[in-house]
Structure 1
């Protein structure tokens, strides 16, 4: 076949912005993430003999919980590690979607936020094993510090790091006409809420800890809706798009 009759080669960066929503990879990733993350929460709460102690609970309560539910804590930590790796996968998919719209800096920011959240989950999961070591349980001050670190990594660090992925990602996809304006601005608002979770670290009594689950689950719900919308948009495109 001659060069004149050869079909034109379309590079990835020459496609329409809506081609960024390629397939259902993001939907699968966020679904697997929710499964492993909720499994970890179930082992920590529903399947334990008592409620998982808060970061500011007395050392005696934390020691008692750790002694009564050692296997639950380790399995929960393993589930958190899996969810961290899956969220890193989702973050790579999401940042690739943003990158294909031509907004390179926004893509890097969203990927950095996703990786920071995944790192917080991973370290929080790994430290569950450290907290269950007999020598650490025997030392109340050491156990209390490790227990509080697992909370800070798996709570505020994860939620604060969600701010760039939902806020910057929402703006970038809205400007690329991949999201309706209301959904894009919702991402910006949720990003501000997630970033505002940092104030939870200010009071010593932990009275603002409710900001962590609020920012976490609303942001994850937004990411789920966006992933499904992008996959659906891609599914409606002509084969040659």
Structure 2
């Protein structure tokens, strides 16, 4: 349930930054003038989006705790701790990215284009690479641990491992100065979150089957 509510607030935050804005949300390497213009025209959109993303971060922390608890109950304590740490780091990046939208919209920061551009880039790094790279141990370690505990089919467990490698690979986007590999961030993020959603449904059904068997 927590992952579904998380998705709702997460998509809401992205929607405000895209569909309801006057223009496309500036990329991290866009000019300071473009970033200033967008911030001036979309102050309310940015603050509401930041609030929605901050709430989604707390919900993802909740989901991560539940996910780690499921793994812990299988006796794989180390794997549970790794997935919990990854989930909390991912939630922290999303939370900081969300609250920094308020900082970016402060009039004194908008008046200083170089300062605003730095804040804008920090929100991207926190909400992009930090979130996605931190998802790597959640999906990879979590998938393998649950597969070995026979709570997931083998194909889904190994898919999690592949998604983890893909999410970890998103850190490569930090290497080119021109930001030409930024597409790796949304790719790793949405595939990992989709995998977690599928796994949550499978685990919920598995729990329901066990309860019916006891009855």
1:60 corresponds to: 33
Matched, 1:101 2:60: no
1:87 corresponds to: 60
- Structure 1, residues 137-175: CA drift from partner, whole Å, max 9, x if none? 000110000000000000000000000000000010000
- Structure 1, residues 196-234: CA drift from partner, whole Å, max 9, x if none? 001000000000000000000000000000000010111
1:164 corresponds to: 137
Q: Distance in 2 between matches of 1:142 and 1:118?
A: 25
Q: RCO (CA 8 Å, sep 6+): is it higher in 1 or 2? A: 1
1:117 corresponds to: 90
Alignment of 1:59-208 (within 5 A): 59-208=32-181
**2:124 partner SS:** helix
- Structure 1, residues 68-119: CA drift from partner, whole Å, max 9, x if none? 0100000000001000000000000000000000000000000000000000
- CA-based RMSD of the aligned residues comes to 0.8
- Structure 2: 5+ residue stretches without partners: none
Matched, 1:36 2:4: no
Count of aligned pairs: 214
2:183 corresponds to: 210
Which structure has the larger Rg? 1
Q: Distance in 1 between matches of 2:75 and 2:214?
A: 20
Residue 240 of structure 1: how far off its partner (Å): 3.1
The TM-score normalised by the length of structure 1 is 0.88
The TM-score normalised by the length of structure 2 is 0.98
Q: Distance in 2 between matches of 1:83 and 1:174?
A: 27
1:9 corresponds to: none
